[in-house]
Amino acid sequence: MNKALSFKILSVFTIRFLFVLVITTSNFKFDVLPLINDWKVYLLFIILWFLFEIFFNQNLQNHYLFIFFGIGFLKILLILYTKNFDLNIFYGAPDSIPLKELGGTLLECFQYSRNCGGEPHFQRGPSYSILISIFTLGTKISPIFLIIIQIFLYAFINTGIIKKINSKNSIVNSSIMILLAVYPSLSIFSRIVLYEIWGVFCLFIAWYISNENKDSKRNYYYYLLLISFSVYLQIQFFIAIFLFFLKFCYFNKVSLKKILIGFLIPVLLIFAWGFRNATHLGHWDFNPYSGCYLEKNIIEPTEAIKNNVSNEKIRNSSTTLSLLNENIDVSKLNKIEICEEFLKIIPSYYLENINYIFENYKNFSYGFFKDNLVCQYKEIGCEEGYWFFIINKIFNYLLIISFIYLALKPNKKELIDFLIFVILFLLILVLVTIDIPRMRIALDIYFFYLIGRVFNVLFKDIKINRL
């Protein structure tokens, strides 16, 4: 590479990251950095960045991974400017603490519990905790190495979305690249110790290779790895990945023997975990806390709607305990036994409160497409404000157009993809109905793809002469 070309590439990246810096600092709200309070100024910077990419940048497709990794790393550096910075802020989410503890005991005493010699952990599968244990040496060192790997996953996913759109048009590629760069969801969850970014990564790989006809043998083994990892991660990721595996098998005419192996692996893993739990509980159970998950994710928000109070008030008052069988003395039950009692009342609770539950579902679904998503995890850079409102507004309008296009231009493979993501959404809807940003990122990858596909149609005949 000659010096002139090297200087040109360096200049392009410098200008690009200056745009990112200005736009990003408008939402981090650090005292030492500039702040954009006027949404029109923010929009102007987005337009200027877009024009720069269209007219001045060349060979963009060769640098997407570096671009997104740079953006992710830049946001980590911005966190250094927060007051009282501590590397433990990456454990800022409530669910990060038990994950940290589990990762520590795995290496320290080869137990899957929150402390050595403590009660065995049943609530979460060990996939992500194993990663924490490996990359933090059992939490003996900072999680920064794990976070850097997660930022790489964020960069890889975003790069993969653009590749999957497969556009030769610079307008399309530049638009999607900028949208992905300023839309915060994946970036946020890449810089915190939570398993979502790994789930989305596995889901994206499963989706990406489901349409590939080449290297089918290699991709088959990839699926076996993805299935094995996701079984012990989260159920919605596992089911969606498994459905993409079936799609892959169908279009690649995979033998029945190999399909059966794909079925057998998760079955064996599920039963292995269930029997592991049986050694402590006295009976087989994959997750003895299932009832409490449904209590937290379904019953609590439903009771909040019924009583016209906040979900937090319901949780803090332990209102849901009064729903259990009145003949049971809750004070004499341990946590697992209480969870089992919640599981028993779920069918009748659904029948008696079906209207309130559907109201809960409706509110949750609306939240998926709200113009201003919730600001979470302030310790790692809170992303909110006018800019967030604008980008969500633009994103949602583009998404509506994309769904219309999909309906008018059906394609067999794309229709199957759509149905799988619909199933994923329904799984989330039925099982969760809280914490919308965490739940939505699994669908964001598909939303961006749809928008890119529509852009391909709208701008396919437009040619830009670069300067």
What ranges do the domains of the chain cover? Answer: 17-91+143-254+369-458, 290-362
Token pair 């604008």 is at which residue? Answer: 390
Read off the amino acid at residue 106. Answer: L
* Dist CA 86 CA 232 (whole Å): 30
Instruction: State whether residue 350 is helix, strand or coil.
Output: helix
* Dist CA 412 CA 61 (whole Å): 28
Token code pair at residue 184: 């915060």
**Angle made by CA atoms 17, 23, 29, in degrees to the nearest 5:** 120
Contacts of 151 (CB under 8 A, 6+ apart): 69, 72, 73, 76, 190, 191
Cβ–Cβ under 8 Å, residues 25 and 34: yes
Token pair 């990406």 is at which residue? Answer: 208
Give the pLDDT confidence score for residue 398 in this predicted structure. 79
Which helix (H) or strand (E) element contains residue 173?
helix 170-182
Cβ–Cβ under 8 Å, residues 399 and 454: no
Cβ–Cβ under 8 Å, residues 265 and 228: yes
Helices (H), 308-435: 311-317, 335-352, 354-368, 386-408, 412-431
Instruction: State whether residue 73 is helix, strand or coil.
Output: helix
Q: Give pLDDT tens digits along the chain (467 positions).
A: 566 556 667 777 788 888 877 777 665 655 555 556 666 777 788 888 888 888 776 656 668 898 899 888 888 887 777 666 777 888 888 889 999 999 999 999 999 999 888 889 988 899 999 999 999 999 999 999 999 999 999 999 999 999 999 888 888 888 888 888 888 788 889 989 999 999 999 999 999 999 877 778 899 999 999 999 999 999 999 999 999 999 999 999 899 999 999 999 999 999 999 999 998 888 888 889 999 888 988 899 998 998 888 888 888 887 888 888 887 888 888 888 899 999 999 999 999 999 999 998 888 888 777 755 556 777 776 666 555 666 677 777 777 887 787 777 777 888 899 999 999 999 998 888 887 788 888 998 998 898 888 888 877 766 665 55
Instruction: State whether residue 328 is helix, strand or coil.
Output: coil
Terminal alpha carbon distance of the chain: 21
* Dist CA 377 CA 384 (whole Å): 11
**Angle made by CA atoms 378, 382, 383, in degrees to the nearest 5:** 160
Phi-psi sector, 329: left (phi>0), alpha (psi -120 to 50), beta: beta
| Neighbour count for residue 14 (Cβ, 10 Å) | 9
Token code pair at residue 302: 């439903």
**Angle made by CA atoms 106, 90, 16, in degrees to the nearest 5:** 130
Contacts of 125 (CB under 8 A, 6+ apart): 231, 232, 233, 234, 273
Q: How far is CA 13 from the centre of its chain?
A: 27
Give the pLDDT confidence score for residue 60 in this predicted structure. 60
* Dist CA 57 CA 360 (whole Å): 47
Cβ–Cβ under 8 Å, residues 436 and 188: no
* DSSP 8-state secondary structure symbol assigned to residue 334: -
* Dist CA 134 CA 106 (whole Å): 9
